[in-house]
């Protein structure tokens, strides 16, 4: 019987059998004395009691050891499950997600008041990106400009890139620890990240302007307008995301 339940049953059986044997010998004490003599009958009773006692002690000890092992196994299983949950939570925090990025920035604000202003700057960049995406969608919607669908994808890529860049700021804050301030951050790196995001935001704003201008030309010329300038801005943004230096932006 390897299970705890089996060991309990075995212990009960051994104890019961020992008690029953001793009881039986007590009942049959007189006949045994007559048959075996006082000394032999006494030795038999004592031997049975000792044997039963040893067996009971061994069984109880085995039950205790088994119970401890089972407790440790269950505890280890719970700890493994907890670590797995934590691992899944870590892997689930997608810092390309605007929602996850905002949540992380707000958590830093709550835990480190000294970084509140810096987190506000980061959140302001995300707010501006949201506004640019909203206006681009509105521009396309009221003009039924499905032919500008690629600009929506471009702005979505910009949003993901901004979130990825802000992860660098978050990393700095994690290293600095709870209740940190800007003096504990590498502000040179932080400013470089925010400047990169600002460049992407400015380029996205230009894409919005060029999109509106091209829609007007497209509508006036019934689809015959040249969209090379629009395509050039899309490429500029894509190159910035890839880290490719642009010698000159369109229209500059």
Secondary structure in 3-state letters for 172-219: HHHHHCCCCCHHHCCHHHHHHHHHHHHHHHHHHHHHHHHHHHHHHHHH
Which helix (H) or strand (E) segment holds residue 4: the answer is helix 4-27
**Model pLDDT, residue 173:** 96
Contact, 211 vs 191, CB < 8 A?
no
Task: Label residue 112 by pLDDT band (50, 70, 90).
Answer: very high
Residue 227 CA to residue 171 CA, distance in Å, equals 40
Q: What is the phi/psi pair of residue 182, to 5°?
A: -65, -20
Alpha carbon 165 to its chain's center: 20
For residue 59, what are its two tokens?
């069984």
Residue 51 in this model has a pLDDT that exceeds 70: no
Residue 156 CA to residue 173 CA, distance in Å, equals 26
Which helix (H) or strand (E) segment holds residue 33: the answer is helix 29-36
**Model pLDDT, residue 42:** 62
What residues contact 121, with CB distance under 8 A and at least 6 apart?
194
Residue 144 CA to residue 193 CA, distance in Å, equals 36
Alpha carbon 50 to its chain's center: 59
Report DSSP state, residue 22.
Answer: H
pLDDT per residue as tens digits for the range 71-96: 677 777 666 666 665 555 555 568 78
For residue 243, what are its two tokens?
């880290």
Contact, 116 vs 123, CB < 8 A?
no
**Model pLDDT, residue 32:** 52
> Which of 64-68, 121-125, 134-138, 196-200 bottoms out in mean pLDDT, i.e. has the lowest?
64-68
Contact, 127 vs 106, CB < 8 A?
no
Burial class (CB in 10 A: 0-12, 13-18, 19+), 93: exposed
**Model pLDDT, residue 243:** 85
pLDDT-above-70 percentage for the chain: 62
Average pLDDT over residues 22-40: 57
Residue 122 CA to residue 241 CA, distance in Å, equals 18
Task: Label residue 20 by pLDDT band (50, 70, 90).
Answer: low
């Amino acid at each position: 019987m390897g299970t705890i339940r089996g060991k309990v049953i075995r212990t009960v059986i051994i104890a019961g059998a020992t008690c029953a044997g001793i009881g039986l010998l007590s009942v049959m004490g007189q006949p045994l004395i007559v048959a075996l003599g006082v000394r032999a009958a006494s030795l038999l009773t004592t031997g049975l009691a000792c044997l039963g006692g040893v067996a009971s002690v061994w069984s109880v000890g085995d039950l205790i050891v088994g119970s401890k092992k089972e407790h440790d196994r269950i505890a280890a299983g719970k700890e493994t499950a907890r670590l797995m949950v934590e691992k899944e939570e870590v892997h689930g925090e997608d810092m390309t997600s605007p929602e996850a990025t905002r949540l992380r920035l707000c958590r830093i604000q709550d835990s480190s008041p000294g970084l509140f202003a810096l987190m506000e700057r980061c959140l302001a960049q995300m707010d501006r990106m949201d506004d640019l995406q909203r206006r681009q969608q509105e521009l396309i919607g009221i003009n039924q400009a499905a032919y500008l669908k690629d600009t929506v994808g471009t702005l979505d890529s910009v949003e993901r890139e901004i979130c990825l860049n802000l992860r660098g700021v978050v990393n700095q804050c994690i290293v600095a620890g709870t209740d940190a301030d800007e003096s504990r951050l590498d502000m040179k790196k932080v400013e470089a990240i925010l400047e990169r995001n600002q460049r992407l935001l400015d380029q996205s704003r230009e894409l919005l302007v060029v999109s509106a201008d091209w829609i007007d030309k497209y509508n006036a010329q019934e689809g015959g307008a040249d969209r090379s300038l629009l395509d050039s801005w899309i490429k500029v943004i894509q190159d910035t995301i890839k880290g490719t230096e642009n010698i000159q932006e369109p229209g500059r």
